């Protein structure tokens, strides 16, 4: 298989799940897994309240810890928000931005997402920027149009910090539904996105940027999805809370 030179990226988005016991037990399970961290980044995203304990539990492992969200503002009078500066202060170096649940339930529109990307990068965070179409948009043939529109926000906000960005393509209809895009469907969008980046940013960024797939990834489908040329890893929700995540991490070996 032709290798892309891009390091595989496997993210586990715990969403609003877990308690202290889960964080302790699951982290110690994850810590026991063997993977080659020079070939694969593994990043878990606990809730804000569990970030510090996950960091402590995973200390000494190669697993990185990410926030699920970040404030669009700096420190200040923004009740309930967590700033990029505060994440850095806790030694958190990653955050998700623009997850579809944030877009759907918490008003994260393109303007908000752009601001979050800018402030996260300004503070030196790495970002997993999420995009993806809804079912009706796919059915109307608007998948690329929707994703490109979301990509424009990312391009306008990233500046020259592309080495700090991972794109997660997550079709909304596949998230938490058990309906996964087929490898062909996912590859088609990933390839179109990479081509779009080539034309609208440059060839170097297009060849280096990691585009990961998310939406009902399981231990059953990860090995076929990962074989697609433009799929550089996964963002995993439900299955990242279970021991299945070990098999999903191990899928990077299919790409070696
Ligand atoms: P899922 O979630 O794997 O449970 O579909 C993916 C995500 O929301 O990132």
Is residue 216 within 6 Å of ligand 1 at its C-beta?
A: yes
Catalytic residue among 26, 50, 99, 190: 99
Q: Is 99 a catalytic residue?
A: yes
- Cα separation, 92 vs 250, whole angstroms: 24
User: Residue ranges of the domains in the chain?
Assistant: 8-255
* Contacts of 57-61 spanning 24+ positions with Cβ under 8 A: 57/23, 57/24, 57/27, 57/28, 57/31, 58/27, 58/30, 58/31, 60/31, 61/30, 61/31
pLDDT for the residue 4: 86
Distance, in Å, from the CA atom of 240 to the CA atom of 15, rounded to the nearest integer, reads: 10
d(CA 190, CA 81): 33
Backbone angles phi, psi at 24, to 5 degrees: -65, -50
pLDDT, tens digit only, all 256 positions of the chain: 557 899 999 999 999 999 999 999 999 999 999 999 999 999 999 999 999 999 999 999 999 999 999 999 999 999 999 999 999 999 999 999 999 999 999 999 999 999 999 999 999 999 999 999 999 999 999 999 999 999 999 999 999 999 999 999 999 999 999 998 999 999 999 999 999 999 999 999 999 999 999 999 999 999 999 999 999 999 999 999 999 999 999 999 998 8
Query: What are the helix (H) ranges across the chain?
Result: 20-31, 51-57, 84-89, 100-105, 110-122, 135-139, 143-158, 183-200, 203-208, 222-225, 244-250
pTM: 0.97
CB neighbours of 49 closer than 8 A, spacing ≥ 6? none
Identify whether 190 is a catalytic site residue: no
The CA 17 to ligand 1 mean position distance, Å, reads 12
Measured from the CB, is residue 214 less than 6 Å from ligand 1? Answer: yes
Q: CATH classification of 8-255, choosing from 3.30.2290.10, 3.20.20.70, 1.10.1660.10, 3.40.50.150?
A: 3.20.20.70
Rg (CA), the chain: 17
């Amino acid at each position: 298989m032709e290798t892309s030179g891009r390091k595989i990226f496997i993210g586990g988005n715990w969403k609003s799940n877990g308690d202290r016991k889960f964080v302790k037990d699951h982290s110690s399970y994850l810590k026991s897994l063997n993977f080659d961290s020079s070939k694969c980044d593994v990043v878990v995203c606990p809730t804000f309240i569990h970030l510090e304990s996950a960091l402590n539990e995973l200390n000494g492992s190669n697993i990185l810890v990410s926030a699920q969200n970040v404030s669009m503002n700096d420190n200040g009078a923004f009740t309930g928000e967590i700033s990029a500066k505060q994440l850095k202060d806790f030694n958190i170096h990653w955050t998700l931005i623009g997850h579809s649940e944030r877009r759907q339930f918490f008003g994260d529109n393109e303007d908000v997402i752009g601001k979050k990307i800018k402030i996260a990068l300004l503070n030196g965070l790495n970002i997993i920027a999420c995009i993806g179409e809804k079912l009706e948009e796919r059915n109307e043939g608007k998948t690329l149009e929707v994703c490109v529109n979301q990509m424009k926000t990312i391009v306008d906000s990233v500046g020259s910090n592309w080495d700090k960005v991972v794109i997660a393509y997550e079709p909304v209809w596949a998230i938490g539904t058990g309906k996964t895009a087929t490898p062909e469907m996912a590859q088609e969008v990933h390839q179109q996105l990479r081509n779009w980046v080539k034309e609208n940013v440059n060839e170097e960024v297009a060849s280096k940027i990691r585009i990961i797939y998310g939406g009902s990834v399981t231990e059953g489908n990860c090995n076929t999805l990962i074989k697609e040329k433009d799929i550089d890893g996964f963002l995993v929700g439900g299955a990242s809370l279970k021991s299945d995540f070990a098999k999903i991490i191990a899928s990077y070996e299919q790409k070696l």
